[in-house]
Structure 1
Amino acid sequence: MAAAVSRTIAPLRENKLIIPEKWEPQARASKEQQWPSLLQCAVVSTAFKILLFPSYHSTDFEVHRNWLAITHSLPVKTWYYEKTSEWTLDYPPAFAAFEWLMSWPAALIDQGMVQISNLGYDSWSTVSYQRGTVIVTELFLVIALHVYASSANSSNRKQAHAIALSILLSPGLLIIDHIHFQYNGFLYGVLILSISLARSQSSMLLSGVLFAVLLCLKHIYLYLAPAYFVYLLRVYCLKPENVFRPRIGNTLKLGASLVAVFGLAFGPFVYWGQLEQLKSRLFPFSRGLCHAYWAPNIWALYSFADRVLIYLAPYLKLSVDKSAISSVTRGLVGDTSFAVLPNITPKQCFGLTLALQSVCWVKLWKKPSWNNFVGAVTLCGFASFLVGWHVHEKAILLVLIPFSLVALKDRSYLASFRPLAVAGHVSLFPLIFTVPEFPIKITYTLTWLMTFLYAFSRLAPAPASPRRFLLDRFTLLYMAVAIPLVTYCSLIHRMVFGERYEFIPLMFISTWSAVGVVASWLGFNVCYLTA
């Protein structure tokens, strides 16, 4: 029937007669709606996540159960002093309030869940409730992605929809939130909504307020704050045509809103004289440079180089600190020793982070467009991940998710996104080391990579200027190495060595992933600074 209508309409179109759109064959509508909707994907993914309720959960599950107990059982003044469990409350006050709200239904479901003395308590009702709260709060991510896709230009609506689906179905969120256990879906929903609202001058104040709320929920997002500061100052607080003429009204509204948000969150603790206690909980710099499992960043490469130099030292006549050989970069408290290379301090990490971030600040100040803002957010996340102090592998989401929002700007951006997508997700595999979950993480991640990297390659437009780097060939080689590497680290190593040399597979995956992350960062810098 559709073919017959097309044959009828074609001659009329050749004669330049105007045909009402409702007469068009339904083939066009079906083609435009070939992607499933966010709601459809949310329903299907929720069903899948419910099936994962009995799966492995990490110590983070006990962390959040303990926080439910602390906030439910104790007065607010004692929340940041309680230390019955080693998993003390170390998130900002807004997240503590979030746990407090969730603790009331928890107490009705299972009183044992909110008892501080019940360390390691994981009854089935506790597991189901906590897993369920992750799914329910992740609905905020669905809303934020809908706003992001809807706010895109009509010419970019299909790309925005594909990006929204890729984030909603992200293997990173599945592994970290729904197996390992955290609440990143909800938190990144707040971030994405804030970024989306920054598109329009009329909603920029709300964007800044939402980001302030996010900082009060989890302080890791402080790394992204410089990009927000430059963008809001340049576009909202100053006149675009003359940066020396401030918009007094906008500045006062933004300033008052931020003071209100932070005052509400931190004001009581200031009144009680507990800011130093909060600081010690939120910023535990006594931890080592590297986490127990190296995050795939510059310090992973630095640590790997140190391990290699230990064996080459006799030939190169290098001095070796023998006391550091057995403890080098294990991520224990206070353990930051290197055997050959110089040790790194928190101040050096902070200085390097600011130095890497400052490059994007200049570009954003000169050209304060929304795309440049998202690029600056991404590069701020990159800098903090690459050279930050005691970076967790889970923090790769701080780069992956903002980068996803501009990955389809053109094929150059996509070329630099591909190695990050591969390395970032593979680097999360060691978080889930149990046998039953092994096929889940491998199959799901591989399916996501094949589906979305192929779809992205079809949707990304050609760049306006010639390509300046060759990350396509690098990505193909990089992905080809991933399969045997993961196979060895996940299966073969244990079959050959058993429980011996258990750090070797972790070192291989971390170092190999670090190469991909650094390559992606270099490629994105080229795209961002030359656009």
Structure 2
Amino acid sequence: MFGILIWSMTCMLQDQFIWSALWFAVLLNFKHIYLYIAPTYFIYLLRNYCFKATGGSLQWSSFSPFRLITLGFVVIYVFALSFGPFIYLKQVPQVLSRLFPFKRGLCHAYWAPNFWALYNFVDKTLTILGSRLHLTTGTPSAVMTGGLVQEFHHVVLPSVPPVVTLLATVTSILPAMYYLWSKSKGPEGFVRAVVLCAFGSYLFGWHVHEKAILIIILPLCLLVFYKREDASIFLILSTTGHYSLFPLLFTSAETTTKILFMLAYSVFAFSSLGYIYKSNWSWWSLPLLNSLESLYIVGLIPLEVWNSAIFPFLDFSEQFPFLPLMLTSVYCSFGIVYSWIKFYKITLFDRKLKSQ
């Protein structure tokens, strides 16, 4: 399905707008998680296919109703083929209940490393401190770290309903959508908006799966040769994001394999991009990263040593089985949030990008 995503984006970059819309509609019907980036497609197609721009300025009088109808027909046709049998059998409510399972709770059993993981961690920390200091009543709830897929309530911080995550997600992507509409940067701007839209949905969405990080990483690959800063963010995000998937390969037989694959990929990525941008390895920093960023990435090593080689042999490992998962999620959250902020900054404020 990622192949279909890249295919659709490639069609867009080549101004094959109808084909891009077609393949993205197909992709949505394969996996609705790509709805995260649908706003980018809508805005870009509306601005660049239904309107014309002269010298970067949008010509409102150039709006083409025929082109809008054509786009609508393509999308509706794909959805009709997909949902037609369910409509005929009157099973649409059942389909929608499975597509949007709001009863599953704010976070997945393994917290995706996003803003809500940090929120949960703060609530958990305050709960334990409050219990030790006799500031909270009752027994601290452990349901957030119980490994169950269900709704739960925070103990100290306010509980988060789905509408709050929706508002947070929309707020996080609005600057990117405004940037795409008012300051269209052509194909590069489209890719940047896709990445930012995926970022916002991942960081603030409801019941986000950890695998959704790949929806950010893969489109970002298309930008690594544009600017040095893009390559730097890619190295931080891909290294952190790929490591955050380690808990999905949880058996001891998989430990060596996943570590070797991760190590091989990281060495290749840092070496190749460092060579392109003439940034070498040093004792104080990794290629394209500053000292603090390098320290953060290197910090993944002791974290993995603790998770795989030390924690399983401790006396309390069976009592707190979720601890390695929580540490991984929280640690990776910092790197992903940092990458989002840095990418937003260079996208919105880099004057080197020319309007098209």
In structure 2, relative to structure 1, the CA distance for the partners of 1:314 and 1:436 (3 Å cut) is closer
Of 272, 275, 279, the residue aligned with 2:89 is: 272
Partner of 2:339: 520
What is the DSSP-based 3-state SS (H/G/I as helix, E as strand, rest coil) of the residue aligned with 1:198? Answer: helix
By how many angstroms is 1:457 displaced?
Answer: 2.3
SS in 1 for 2:106: coil
Contact kept, 8 Å, 1:420 with 1:520, in 2: the verdict is yes
Q: 1:330 to 1:224 in 2, by over 3 A?
A: farther
Matched, 1:433 2:250: yes
Q: Determine helix, strand or coil for the equivalent of 2:252.
A: coil
* Aligned counterpart, 2:226: 409
Distance in 2 between the 1:461 and 1:235 partners?
Answer: 36
Deviation readout 1:1-27 (Å, 9 max, x if unpaired): xxxxxxxxxxxxxxxxxxxxxxxxxxx
Aligned to 2:318: 499
**Residues 416 and 347 of structure 1: is their aligned pair in 2 closer, same or farther, counting only changes over 3 Å?**
same
> 1:508 maps to what in 2?
327
State whether residues 127 and 136 of structure 2, in contact with CA within 8 Å, keep that contact through their aligned partners in structure 1: no
Judged with a 3 Å threshold, the aligned counterparts in structure 2 of structure 1 residues 494 and 316 are, in CA distance, closer, same or farther, namely: closer
The one-letter code of the counterpart of 1:486 is E
Q: Please name the residue that 2:296 is paired with.
A: 478
1:213 aligned residue: 26
Map of 1:118 onto structure 2: none
Work out whether 1:489 is the aligned partner of 2:307: yes
Offset, 1:522: 0.7
C-alpha RMSD over aligned residues: 2.0
CA shift, 1:266, in A, is: 1.0
Counterparts in 2 of 1:419-458, with a 5 A limit?
419-458=236-275
Instruction: Name the CA distance, whole Å, in 2 between partners of 1:347 and 1:323.
Output: 28
Gapped regions of structure 1 (runs ≥ 5): 1-186, 463-469
Q: Is the 8 A contact 1:324 1:339 kept in 2?
A: yes
CA 313–244 in structure 1, closer or farther in 2 if over 3 Å, else same: farther
CA–CA distance in structure 2, aligned partners of residues 516 and 275 of structure 1:
39
The Cα shift of 1:253 comes to 1.9
- Residue number in structure 2 paired with 1:228: 41
Q: Which TM-score applies when normalising by structure 2?
A: 0.89
Helix, strand or coil: the match of 1:291? coil
- Which residues of 2 match residues 143-158 of structure 1 at below 5 A? none
Measured at CA, do residues 400 and 509 of structure 1 come closer, stay the same or move farther in structure 2, by a change above 3 Å? same
- Residues 500, 291 of structure 1: alpha-carbon distance in 2 compared, 3 angstrom cutoff: same
Shift of 1:316: 7.5
Q: In structure 2, how many angstroms separate the alpha carbons of the residues matched to 1:347 and 1:197?
A: 34
Corresponding residue of 1:382: 199
Q: Does structure 1 conserve the Cα–Cα contact (< 8 Å) formed by 2:29 and 2:82? A: yes
Cα–Cα, structure 1 residues 414 and 528, in superposed 2: closer, same or farther, change >3 Å? same
Does structure 2 retain, via aligned residues, the 8 Å contact 1:418–1:453? Answer: yes
Are residue 371 (structure 1) and residue 184 (structure 2) matched? Answer: no
Higher relative contact order (CA 8 A, sep 6+): 2
Cα deviation for residue 248 of structure 1 reads 3.3
Q: CA offsets, 1:471-512, max 9 Å, x none?
A: 633320112211111111111101223533211111111100
User: What TM-score results when the alignment is normalised by the length of structure 1?
Assistant: 0.61
Cα separation, 2, equivalents of 1:230 and 1:474: 37
Residue 196 of structure 1 corresponds to 10
Aligned partner of 2:283 in structure 1 is: none
Larger radius of gyration: 1
- In the alignment, the residues of structure 1 paired with residue 181 and residue 196 of structure 2 have an alpha-carbon distance, to the nearest angstrom, of 14
Gaps of 5+ in 2: 280-287, 351-356
CA contact (8 A) 1:313 1:319 kept: yes
From 144, 150, 155, the counterpart of 1:328: 144
Amino acid at match of 1:392: H
Q: Is the 8 A contact 1:287 1:332 kept in 2?
A: no
Residue equivalent to 1:391:
208
Q: Aligned letter for 1:485?
A: L
| Separation (CA, whole Å) in 2 of partners of 1:206 and 1:460 | 34
CA distance, structure 1, for counterparts of residue 82 and residue 96 of structure 2:
14
1:312-361 deviation line (CA, Å, top 9, x unaligned) = 226888545x4661213546344221111110011111111111011100
Instruction: Please tell me the residue identity of whatever aligns with 1:238.
Output: F
Hey, what's the Cα distance between the residues in 2 that align with 1:240 and 1:324? 58
Deviation at 1:437, TM superposition (A): 1.4
Which of 167, 176, 181 in structure 2 is aligned with 1:360? Answer: 176
Q: What SS does the aligned partner of 1:289 have?
A: coil
Deviations 1:389-431 (A, max 9, x none): 1111111111111112112321111222222112101111111
Gap change, CA 1:247 and 1:329, over 3 Å in 2: farther
Aligned residues of 1:406 and 1:413 also touching (Cα < 8 A): yes
Length, aligned pairs only: 336
Structure 1 contact 318–340 (Cα < 8 Å) conserved: no
Query: Superposed, which structure 2 residues align to 1:74-93 within 5 Å?
Result: none
